[in-house]
Structure 1
Amino acid sequence: MIKSFFVLDFSYDVIDNIPVIFIWSIDKEGNRVVVLEKDFRPYFYAIPKDGSNLESLKNEIMKLGNLKSPILEVKDVDMKYYGNPLKALKITTQIPAYVRAYREEVSKLSGIKDVMEADIRFYMRYSIDSGIRPFYWFDAEVEDISLEKLRVSKAYLLKDVKKVYEDAFPELKIMAFDIEVYSKYGFPNPRKDPVILIGVWTDKGQEQFSAEDDDLKVLRNFSKFVVDYDPDIILGYNSNGFDWPYLLERAKMRNIKLDLGRRENSEPSQGTYGHYSVVGRLNVDLMGFASTVEEVKVKSLDNIADYLGVLPKNERVNLEWYEISSYWEDLKKRDLVKKYNLDDAKSTYLLKNVFIPFGEQLTVISGLPLDQLSMASVGYRVEWLLMREAFKYKELIPNRVEREYATYKGGLVIPPKPGIHENVYVLDFSSMYPSIMIKYNIGPDTLLKDNCEDCWVAPEVGHKFRKSPEGFYKRLLQELLNERREVKEKVKDIRDEYQRRMLDERQRALKVMANAFYGYMGWLGARWYSKEGAEAVTAWGRETISSASKIAIDEGFDVIYGDTDSIFVKGSGDAVALAKKISDLLALEIKIDKHYKKVFFTENKKRYAGITEEGKIDIVGFEAIRGDWCDLAKDIQKRVIEQILTSGVKDAVRLARDVVMRLRRKEFKIEELVIWKSLDKDINDYEVDAPHVAAAKKAIKAGYAVFSGGKIGYVVVKGSGKISDKAEPYFMVKDKNRIDIEYYIDKQIVPSVMRILDSFGVKEDEIKGGGVDITSFFRK
């Protein structure tokens, strides 16, 4: 019979010495099913040395086989490596785990130059070869089979794949969860500290499992709930970093299994990129997506949910992590902990609407399952797309190798003209680096190091790339950019809000993937690494920006700034006509990205702020959106910028002085002065006691849990010695009188606003209240 299946995820097992791939799916009727593939076998490639006798090598390799996993076949095949044709030996065995063992043995043979593609996970190898990929449908001839210990409606044996295609997603069942643990002293330890709460949120509302005295029931009830609700996606926030490892270790201590997968007796297990795999379900840690929200410095769940508006802080219970144990002990406050836990679960659930549609489209494009994709870097996402494309073109996938750190010259920056400018247009090259890669056929497989008569030669660096045939990168980038253009056109005619959202997420995912190709090429961990390619792209980019600037000047415009792929111009001419002329002359699309009523620059590159025709204020490069400053310093800097753009420098100075006076009058909240820093390694590995390290040690000594790899917040209090001696964990300081006010004025507030005001001739004394007449500094 022929049936249709929507793919969620893959797993595999060895049953009766046969590797079996489980394709976890949903059928057209909405049933959760699994399709079993029993005929696919693991393989890798060996590259013979020039002049080697292939038949002799085949015989030598066959002799390496053993009974547990015999070598089934050694076949010579025509492949390409970086675009160059070659002969390779495809070596097929029985059990996936033996691929790596055979790789080592084959590589030692005298006639073998290299072995390749031995490090690709078996089920992903199958996905690449078959074309069956996550969030795609496939039609296949299957037969019903009976398989015990599976939590699905039906199981099928795959006989023949008829078609793989995109279509509308079925409705996916999603649940979110969050845990609370009780730890009176120090970092929570699952060997002794119980799980007191597990909050769950689904489309049906909330559930909560509570431990008044014993957490064994909590663990069992949570597992039972997951099995009964049967979610396709399980959402957490930092669940890979904390919740799952804690629950697993705690279950082990209580002598039970955290059995909640779609195969019985299957616990979550740690897989690639640090994610935890739940068999038959997609475990998605949303913190992986939240890491891209640059505007939020401390990416806690409550901060992210508040910033994105899914659950504002004023609509939920807010507790500090160090308060949970004491609140739990107090029966009058225990309900607050329960509500806090459910609010976290609800926040996680609601964040699905922000992150999951985009993640789904990235999965469709890259082929990387959503749970892995949420934790994988952009480089790995690009690489899986490249690996899938490589298979289509019989291009061997390079091995991953360690490389020494290498740098190269980046994009061109035209120095800014400091001061305030009005009526400024930002002309931005559309997907500049991908377009350059397409225009000049740049890629690791088109790079030529010998003499050539028909090549593109990169300016400054001199790297050469053949003009034809088209390279691996060019073909794929053209597909991505063409599809994006088609999607953007299509979305204009769509009225259905859901469809519009999906298409918009698709075009955004296509843009992100295409723009990542240049960075991937220069990433030291890339399989298809090419420093020459990355250097050539930036060299052509510099030439492009320089040429665009010259055209603008020739057309009577003043270029006040340029950076990598855009130029800022002002003048009385027609900016639309200018953009068209640049596009025509350079054969690269450039368009008006923004029109600022007013914009100001300091003398530093990549640092400006502007207000658009619509009244939106953009701030780039200042501490208002980056840097380790307290909230008060960031807030006043942002407000000073806004004041300059809306009412002028005098009002901005007045505003800054008011904040200094407010500090001296102690009209502040301690939370406004917290300075956050990351603890990138174990506290004992720090050789120097930086302020945040000193604060972390004080917190640990006082019995508080401090998370390695997380952030520590501290304030600076009065006292003698270095700043490190005066840094205290913010939650241990309750009295405002302890705060070192002058430190915050001298090292936080004044420096943050002087980054802007210094360009207008303002002096520090004017901010601190030195009594200088400031009017002489302002001229129109």
Structure 2
Amino acid sequence: MEIKFYPLDFEYRLKDGKVYMYLYSKLGDGSRVCVIHEHRPFFYVSIEGINTTELELRLKGLKIENRNEAAVVVGFEEVERELLGKKKKLWKILVNYPKAVPLLAEELESWGLECFEKDILFVHRYLRDVGIMPMTLVVAQGEFIDEPRLRIPAFLATDVHQESLESVQKLRILAVDIETYALKKEILPQKNPILMIGLYGVDELGQEFKKVLTWKKFPHTLEYLEVCDSETQLLQRFRDIVLEYHPDILTGYYSDVFDLPYIKVRAQKLGVQLDLGADHSELEVSEKGVRESKSSITSMVHVDVFQFIRNIFGKNLKTGSFSLDAVSEELLGYKKQVVNLDELGPSWDSNSERLADFCAYNLHDAYLTAQLCRTLLYDMIEFTKIVGVPVFDVIRMKFSRLVENYILRRGMEYNILAPNKPQDAQISQRRQESIQGAFVFEPTPGLYKDMVVFDFRSLYPTIISAHNIGPEGFRCDCCKLVGKVPEKEEYWFCTKEKKFIPLVLEELILRRADVKRMAREAQARGEDTKIYDARSYTIKVLANSFYGYLGFYGARWYSIECAASTTAYARNYIKQTIEKAREFGFEVIYADTDSCFVLLGDKELADAKDFMQEVNSHLPGKMELEMEGYYPRGIFVAIKGTEKGAKKKYALISKEGRVKVTGFESVRRNWSLIAKEVQKKVLELVLNDKVDDALVYVKLVVQEMKRGLVPLHKLIIKTQITRELGGYASVGPHVAVARRMVERGEMVVPGMVVEYVIVKGPGIIRERAKLPSEVGEGEYDADYYLNNQVIPAVSSIFLVLGYTEDQVFKDDSQTGLGKFF
């Protein structure tokens, strides 16, 4: 019989000497099924120059003892694959179970043989070999069987193949959030109990599920609150609810590192079995360092929304913080509820009625997490469909791994053999290699009017595609006299045949153009464009990451020559654009990487468009210069202490009055809100030709600052911890604060943003850096914030207008600045 299903989660099992993939899936009617399909693991070995008769005899006698089952070769077949543009004869070595692959490959390499694809995850191997996509419609032939170890029906498949790329539409989502006991924000799961577990679910029909579990009785009117007798019973109820609700997606925010590991530790300590998987398996937590920690439940997709934000989607956000509060405010339009978590422990000990506020806070966090998951799910599924690996893996990947997995998937279509991952010595060597970067035409500091900005659309991806840049075509034998790379006569790429890397990248470029067209058509029809927007963003991210991947030291398809050639072509094209602009009579005031800023002067926008069309008429492939916008005014500032223009630091105002700020403190995380606000306001006033008002405004801010009237929340400085605390040679304020947080028992990990305020008093800056909760209103050091935050944020702007810091910030400074065009 035949069934159609959407595979969500994957694992493999060994049974009777065979390897079976278990595809935990959803049927069209919303019910669940586990499709079981046999698949044999394998790797490749080169047989070029090898006595295959002798090799066959050695393979037949090869057996490597392992703890549970010996690793043996069960068969082989001769194949031909393409490796970096060259055909290669290989044996495909079939083995008895997935973990036998690296064991046997290592042994064959000790014989002097060259092995390939020996480190591919078996789940990924299966998906590529069979040619199916997670979260899309798949069809299987077979029959239902009795599988007593499973809580859901089992279907033994004889054949599995892709039916269509239609995505699963309706998923059941359950968000979890916990609150734990702490008196000093300490995170001690072996000691401190879980006080509350907030659960918020949305089923396939959009119906809500709300529940907060706790084990303390107190006065309340909360319908969703369930009071258990003990923490043990709370954990048991959590287990029961998850099993009863059986979500397709279990989601949390930082749940890989905090919520689920904490639940796991408490359950183990109290003897509660968390057998949440459809196969009765327990919640699994892999601890490979904080940044690599993963929590999983077989048959459910655990989506840690924070991981997706940090690794992939964060670059698309304006917020400088990836906290649940900041991300929710930007993506959903609402924030966390306000409570003082320092008071949760004391309130628990005193049976305070205020515990109801903490329960509401707990549920609201779960609600925000669920809504973020639903909002971002389109993007997650689109990445999965393009990259071809499970959602669980996709959201935990950085850009280089996303690109590599996309290439690996596409390699199956083109009979490509994947190069091996670099060894430590290769990585060390690659780390020492560098390339020349982009060309920058320095701006002259000043206030300008009537500016047009041009951008090359997807410059690096289109260069790679247009010039066939890839390791397969580098220095080919057929094109030595043509296709030379600018500035690098010793480099050339094949001009006769499109090679693999630029080919699959070009397909992404074409696909995105098609998706954007469909989005425009859908919008014209009044239809929702969310799926198209998600797809377009996914393709853009992958395409733009190819250049970085080619120069990434850990890449299989690493080629520093390709990366260097890409930037060489980019420099060449931006220089040509500058020269062409001058030929058309435009004054170029700034150019950087893929952008060119020109002044209209006495010309019209139509002339600028003519210039753009002339440039485009000479561009190869999919390269295209676009008009990013016309701006009546713009300002460029100088590098501090010099008269040289600062690159990537400017502000522009559109005809509609929208201000675009690049490179200034107002768009950076490690500046206080007061500095950002002052800078943004000054830029807006200056660009609107209200320079006198800008000076008056700044003076008022200085007066308020000195009088201690600036609200505390505007003084918080946020700085990211970029490494383990022991790895800092010099201790800045954020490191000092982070170390005090650790002393209090709080968790501080790389990637975390630390917040602090500088207060009055003796001692160096780091000794006066305090957590916001430790600071009262008016206790801040006004001189520090003026000299290190406010003045540096605006002094370069006023300097362009001819005014020094003394003239702006001294009480007797003049205030009239006049016009500067």
**TM-score of the two chains, using structure 1 as the length reference:** 0.94
Match of 2:226 in 1: none
- Aligned partner of 2:276 among 242, 260, 284: 260
Label 1:691 to 1:441 Cα distance change in 2 as closer, same or farther (>3 A): same
On the 8 A contact 1:58/1:75 being kept in 2, the answer is no
Q: Which residue of 1 aligns with 2:222?
A: none
- Paired position in structure 1 for 2:19: 19
Over 3 Å counting, the alpha-carbon distance change for 1:488 and 1:200 in structure 2 is same
2:302 matches 1:283: yes
**Corresponding residue for residue 446 of structure 1:** 473
Instruction: Tell me whether 1:608 sits opposite 2:650 in the alignment.
Output: yes
Match of 2:567 among 514, 538, 544: 538
SS across alignment from 1:585: coil
String of CA shifts for 1:254-281, please: whole Å, max 9, x gaps: 1223222222133234399543222111
Aligned residues: 770
Q: Does structure 1 residue 741 correspond to structure 2 residue 760? A: no
- Shift in CA distance, 682/488, structure 1 to aligned 2, threshold 3 Å: closer
Paired AA for residue 526 in structure 1: A
Counterpart of 2:244? 228
Q: 1:319 to 1:368 in 2, by over 3 A?
A: farther
- Give the direction of change, closer, same or farther, for the CA distance of 1:467–1:258 in structure 2 (3 Å limit): same
Distance 1:227 1:719, change over 3 A: same
C-alpha displacement of 1:778? 5.3
Residue pair 2:135, 2:167 contacting (<8 A) in 1 also: no
Structure 2 partner of 1:238: 254
Structure 1 unaligned residues grouped into runs of 5+: none
The 2-side partners of 1:193 and 1:222 are apart by 18
Choose from 337, 341, 362 the match for 1:317: 337
Conservation of the 8 A alpha-carbon contact between 2:190 and 2:269 = yes
76 and 590 in structure 1: CA distance in 2 versus 1, 3 angstrom threshold: same
Aligned equivalents of 1:451, 1:147: Cα separation in 2: 59
2:270 pairs with 1:250: no
Q: Which residue is 2:360 aligned to? A: 339
Alpha-carbon separation, structure 2, partners of 1:583 and 1:181: 60
What is residue 210 of structure 1 aligned with on the other side?
214
Q: CA deviation at 1:773?
A: 1.9
Alignment match, 2:319: 296
Give runs of aligned pairs for residues 713-724 of structure 1, distance below 5 A: 713-724=755-766
1:730: how far off?
2.3
Number of the residue aligned with 2:409: 388
Distance 1:29 1:160, change over 3 A: same
Q: Select which of 629, 634, 642 maps to 1:594.
A: 629
Give the deviation of 1:176 after TM superposition. Answer: 1.4
Question: How many angstroms does 1:392 deviate by?
Answer: 2.0
Call closer, same or farther: CA 1:480–1:223 in 2, change over 3 Å: same
Helix, strand or coil at the partner of 1:256: coil
* Map of 1:548 onto structure 2: 577
In structure 1, what is the equivalent of residue 532 of structure 2? 503
Alignment identity in percent?
A: 30
**Is 1:626 aligned to 2:654, yes or no?**
no
Judged with a 3 Å threshold, the aligned counterparts in structure 2 of structure 1 residues 254 and 409 are, in CA distance, closer, same or farther, namely same
Deviations 1:603-645 (A, max 9, x none): 2000111122233221110111115111211221122112212
In structure 2, the CA distance between the partners of 1:698 and 1:512, relative to structure 1 (3 Å rule), is closer
Of 438-447 and 415-424, more deviation after overlay is shown by 415-424
Which stretch of the first structure deviates more once superposed, 533-542 or 567-576?
A: 567-576
Deviation track 1:731-756 (CA, whole Å, cap 9, x = no partner) reads 212252x3221111111111111232
Q: Secondary structure at the match of 1:466?
A: coil
Distance 1:779 1:687, change over 3 A: closer
Q: 1:307 to 1:28 in 2, by over 3 A?
A: closer
Answer whether contact 1:698 1:729 (CA < 8 A) is retained. no
In the TM superposition, residue 499 of structure 1 has moved relative to its aligned partner by 4.8
Q: Which residue of 2 aligns with 1:481?
A: 509
For residues 697 and 610 of structure 2, what CA distance do their matches in structure 1 show?
Answer: 41
Give the partner amino acid of 2:137.
Answer: W
Displacement, 1:381? 0.9
Change (3 A) 1:168 1:228: same
1:388-423, CA deviations, whole angstroms, 9 ceiling, x for partnerless residues?
111222211122214132321122222123222222
Q: Could you tell me whether the CA contact under 8 Å between 2:130 and 2:161 is conserved in 1?
A: no
- RMSD of the TM alignment (CA)? 2.2
Name the CA shift for 1:256/1:7 in 2 (closer, same or farther; >3 Å): same
The 1:500/1:78 distance shift into structure 2, 3 A limit, reads same
- Partners of 1:661 and 1:726 lie apart in 2 by 23
Separation in 2 of the partners of 1:271 and 1:59? 42
| CA–CA separation in structure 2 for the residues paired with 1:585 and 1:258 | 64
What CA distance in whole angstroms lies between the structure 2 residues aligned with 1:561 and 1:655? 30
Aligned to 2:737: 695
Give the distance between the partners of 1:225 and 1:475, measured in 2 at CA: 49
The answer to whether the Cα contact below 8 Å between 2:691 and 2:817 also exists between their aligned partners in 1 is no
Maintained 8 Å contact 1:147/1:155: yes
Q: Which amino acid aligns with 1:669?
A: P
Alignment counterpart, residue 435 of structure 1, candidates 434, 439, 462: 462
d(CA) in 2 for partners of 1:749, 1:623 = 10
Q: Deviations over 1:447-498 (max 9, x none)?
A: 1277843542211133221113211112112211222222222223325766
Residue 317 (structure 1) shift: 2.0
| 3-state SS in 2 of match to 1:127 | helix
| Residue 514 of structure 1 pairs with residue 514 of structure 2 | no
Question: Which residue of 448, 456, 469 corresponds with 2:483?
Answer: 456
Aligned residue for 1:448, secondary structure, equals coil
Q: Distance in 2 between matches of 1:615 and 1:655?
A: 19
* 1:445 partner letter: E
